[in-house]
Chain A
Amino acid sequence: MKLHEYQAKEIMRRYGIPTPRGKVAETPDEVFKIATELGGRAVVKAQVHVGGRGKAGGIRVVNNPDEARVAGSEILGMDIKGLTVGKVLVEEAIEAVSEYYLGVTVDRSQKSVTIIASSEGGIDIEEVAAKTPQKISKMWSTPKEGFMPWQARSLALDAGFDEGTIARVGGYFSGLFKLFEREDAELAEINPLMVTKDGKAIAADAKITLDDNALFRHPGYSDLWEEEGDDPLEQEARKRKLTYVKLNGDIGVIGNGAGLVMATIDAIKAEGGEAANFLDIGGGARAEVVQSALELILMDEAVKAILINVFGGITRCDEVAQGLLKAIESVNLDLPVVVRLVGTKEAEGRAILSETPAVTADTMVDAAKRIVAIAGGGI
């Protein structure tokens, strides 16, 4: 779950990390009011769940409240990479003498938490890693081991931070690690950390992604949840508790198991077709789940044909076939369907399918060939 910058900064302040003074606005008048309160130069920043806001014109520095109002009216409602801006963060502008990067995230290959520092702040860290890897320093830890301020100080020194800053930055860094651990984050990032002439360090931009699997430990987080940015079909899938990803093609895909569905989508592509979605009904799905999955796929107007690929282990083929039968009745399913069923209760499943217009296939590749021919032929 991605948080907005203003939400991330709120959490960071709780861990002792200073952020610029500011507030969130939803109208140009509110922007004007906040800028007046702040006095002086301000920054108006679009709050959307995508990177590259600055380049897209979603971040503007203004000199007075009137300019702030204009910037607000232009940014609010703006479209950034398909997302509409509904909120802006209005903050005091910070004059930086240097900009650093601090980040905490999960390192898959090390099976641990990695703490990253760089003296190249304000740039995408992946870009820094590619161009000037010597300007990045890393350490590893686990929630159990923790990350002490002295470790943070030596990491900051190693990354080329100015000596005058490390006493403060060490504490903030250690706070960021604590935040990461206690809030169950996947990513906690300050980029840039701006250092001012008088030696203060301030988190000018903040990013936090929370671990969806840990939300049960943080009941308050449901208030931070915003569906903005999700495809409407993906939202519908979440309501139906289906694992679904919208794709760009015209062949609806249903299968059991993530790896199998991914491989099915690849097989369709290899035959010259394009899948409209990824949909995993999981293990042991009953007929109702299959029916619900088919209903969801039919809400996608791009879908011209449907492929069902099930390897029955815990999932029973007869349940899958029953689900198809139910969907044909309940939602008037009239698109061509190719079904490949193998494994537990295969014969029973096939017997049910013989009552339907569905085309059956013996293997995954065979099923992909058939569905691509049908979708391509526009039958």
Chain B
Amino acid sequence: MGIFIDRRTKVVVQGITGREGRFHALRMRDYNPDVVVAGVTPGKGGQDVEGIPVFNTVLEAVKETGANASCIFVPAWAAADAVMESFAAGIELVVCITEGIPTLDVINMVSQANVDGLARRVIGPNSPGIITCGEASIGIMPGQIFKPGPVGVISRSGTLTYEVVGLLSSCGIGQSTCIGVGGDPIIGTTFVDCLGAFEKDDNTKAVVLIGEIGGSDEEDAAEFIRNMTKPVVTFISGRTAPPGKRMGHAGAIVSGSMGTAESKVKAFQKAGVPVANTINQIADIMKELL
């Protein structure tokens, strides 16, 4: 169980013959061999990557293998096209790892998910991926640090998420699904989308939310959590970041009075949601809640 992906998910890796695509497709297969069914690189159809068949188009891959999810490793200039191709081929979930996609391309590909009333989903872009522990991994997260259990994890970051997951695992707190929603200003799946899914997931008893400066997804999440039955523990990074500077992630920027860590912390506190001041506190608070 868990959310968005499980052991029945079938993934096609777009850009599988590139350095990153190949490396991570094989790691995803190590996590669960049944989940990675195909790769796509235009012009390289008929080849294989250590046994994973490569197709010219996503549609062929879907027809031949029954793939229902896609993972995008193609370069930024071609990424939006790759997402559109996935949706056109009937894929329902696209996990976009690529960083640096032009913002207007992201708006187009993200809005494509919901045309004609279809409830399709983009995770990312600039996402480290998603893992449902013990079942499936799509993306670049190091599978070995995860441990199955009752805590859902959502985050805008990659390594900081691993840091928190490593800590939780070492304290004996396992995870249900962990999602990196992505560090870009526009993302397909927000904290609120994930919280809604976790609220309905029988395997998830509590959630850790790791936010950062920029945008207002944390403030929206704070409002949403008011109506949740499951507890959520939060952490915000970038509390000491100067305004107007992009802190690595394209989306991590305080612009004017918008997107400050202070506003996010306040929103959570107002909604009665615990905010950890240090990474270690996340585990301490979670232990008490479970």
Contacts of B186 in A (CB 8 A): 106, 108, 111
Given A143-B108, A214-B102, A258-B249, is A269 in contact with B240 using a C-beta cutoff of 8 Å?
A: yes
Q: Are A142 and B160 in contact (CB under 8 A)?
A: no
Q: Are A259 and B108 in contact (CB under 8 A)?
A: no
Does A332 sit within 8 A of B, measured CB to CB? Answer: no
Checking B76, B162, B279 against A343 with a beta-carbon cut-off of 8 angstroms, the contacting residue is B162
Contacts of A265 in B (CB 8 A): 240-241
Contacts of A267 in B (CB 8 A): 278-279
Q: Are B277 and A262 in contact (CB under 8 A)?
A: no
List A residues 255-270 near B (Cβ within 8 Å).
255-263, 265-267, 269-270
In the bound assembly, the distance between CA atoms of A213 and B216 in angstroms comes to: 22
Q: Are A213 and B111 in contact (CB under 8 A)?
A: no
Q: Are A259 and B159 in contact (CB under 8 A)?
A: yes
Q: Which of B30-38, B63-71, B251-259 contacts A (4 or more CB under 8 A)?
A: B251-259
Interface of A is mostly: mixed
Checking B145, B183, B220 against A259 with a beta-carbon cut-off of 8 angstroms, the contacting residue is B183
Bitwise, B208-226 to A at CB < 8 A (1) or not (0) is 0010111111001000000
Q: How large is the interface on B (under 10, 10 to 19, 20 to 34, 35 or more residues)?
A: 35 or more
Q: Are A280 and B248 in contact (CB under 8 A)?
A: yes
Contacts of B185 in A (CB 8 A): 106, 108
In the bound assembly, the distance between CA atoms of A211 and B103 in angstroms comes to: 7
Given A262-B241, A262-B252, A283-B158, is A108 in contact with B104 using a C-beta cutoff of 8 Å?
A: no
> How many inter-chain contacts with C-beta < 8 Å in the A-B complex?
158
In the bound assembly, the distance between CA atoms of A213 and B246 in angstroms comes to: 13
**Chain B's nearest CB lies how many Å from the CB of A132?**
16
Contacts of A262 in B (CB 8 A): 160, 212-213, 237-238, 241, 247-248, 252
In the bound assembly, the distance between CA atoms of A217 and B257 in angstroms comes to: 31
Q: Are A259 and B107 in contact (CB under 8 A)?
A: no
Q: Are B103 and A186 in contact (CB under 8 A)?
A: yes
Bitwise, A317-355 to B at CB < 8 A (1) or not (0) is 000000000000000000000000011100000000000
Contacts of A363 in B (CB 8 A): 280
Q: Are B107 and A113 in contact (CB under 8 A)?
A: yes
Contacts of A222 in B (CB 8 A): none
In the bound assembly, the distance between CA atoms of A365 and B142 in angstroms comes to: 22
Given contacts A109-B216, A130-B257, 11 further A-B contacts (CB under 8 A): A184-B102, A211-B104, A259-B159, A262-B237, A262-B238, A262-B252, A263-B163, A263-B238, A265-B240, A311-B162, A365-B279
